[in-house]
Amino acid sequence: MKTILSRLFPVCDAVATLFPGRLEVVLHDLATDTIAHIAGAFSNRVAGDPSLLAEEAPQIDGAGQDVIGPYGKRHWDGQRLKSVSAVIRDDGGRAIGLLCINMKTGEIEAAAELLRSLTGAFGDPAAQPLVTGDWREAAHSLIAETLAARGRSFAAADRADRVAVLRALEAAGILRIRGAADHVARILGISRASLYAALKQVRDGGTDDDITERGGSHA
């Protein structure tokens, strides 16, 4: 007859299989203070090894907390691990096991740091001077920043969002660059005439509501 802990062996194996070489799942038997099962082992431990949890077992049992973590640990080779543990209880509520999932995070953290360094290398587009040679890139960045500040995606942008974009581009001087108006009109999916009509109202000091109401359905 299978014990409660032995019924969890396939669960341990399944979780470890999800990220081969990255996840180690250890099922501790608190009654014997030994490892009942281990899957995806990378800590040089095997089933039957001491758990070394004898001193912690009473606290685990009495804490009333069934999920512990996530918390950080160090692997034997110095690599960082992120771990979480689940307390296994019998039908009477007594803690009989501890299922620990350890995840190697060193390579993930290195990749994240690389991405931060790559994206940070471009600096803040808003802090860079606008020059005629890069006005398209500057326009694209400003459009994205304006919509992001309004909590809108490009696909969901409505007329009011497009007016806000025109205001930002006009304030940056981009729409005064030759060819910029045509380029922006194509990006926004409006006609050149609609863009200039809305832009004239922006330059004349019209409010967003005023421009939205009078501009028709094309801008």
The pLDDT tens digits for 126-140 are: 444 334 446 776 888
Q: What is the pLDDT of residue 100?
A: 94
Structure-block tokens of residue 24: 């180690």
Grouping H, G, I as helix, E, B as strand and the rest as coil, residue 130 is coil
CA–CA distance, 25 with 13 (Å, rounded to integer): 8
Q: What is the pLDDT of residue 210?
A: 55
Task: Say what the pLDDT of residue 180 is.
Answer: 86
**In this predicted structure, what is the pLDDT of residue 1?**
52
H or E element that contains 167:
helix 159-171
Stretch (H or E) spanning 88 = strand 80-89
**Per-residue confidence (pLDDT) for residue 197, from 0 to 100:** 87
Contact criterion met (CB below 8 Å) for 87 and 60 = yes
Beta bridge partners of 23: 103
Of 164, 165, 166, 192, the C-alpha closest to 179 is 192
First-to-last C-alpha distance (Å) of the chain: 73
Instruction: Determine the pLDDT at residue 202.
Output: 84
The whole-number pLDDT of residue 145 equals 86
Distances (CA, A) of 136 to 7, 125, 177: 61, 12, 10
Over the range 13-40, which residues count as b (16 or more CB within 10 Å of their CB) and which as e? Answer: eebbeeeeeebbbbbbbbeeeebbbbbb
CATH number of 6-109: 3.30.450.20
How many angstroms separate the Cα of 186 from the Cα of each of 5, 55, 193?
63, 69, 12
The residues that bridge with 103 in the sheet, in sequence order, are 23, 82
Full-prediction pTM beyond 0.85? Answer: no
Backbone angles phi, psi at 100, to 5 degrees: -115, 130
Return averaged pLDDT per consecutive 10 residues of the chain, 219 residues in all: 86 94 94 95 89 79 81 72 91 92 82 72 45 65 85 82 89 87 86 87 71 45
The residue extents of the domains of the chain are 6-109, 123-214
Tokens coding 151: 């909590």
| The predicted structure's pLDDT at residue 3 | 86
Alpha-carbon distance values, 18 to 79, 109, 152, 158 (Å): 20, 19, 35, 42
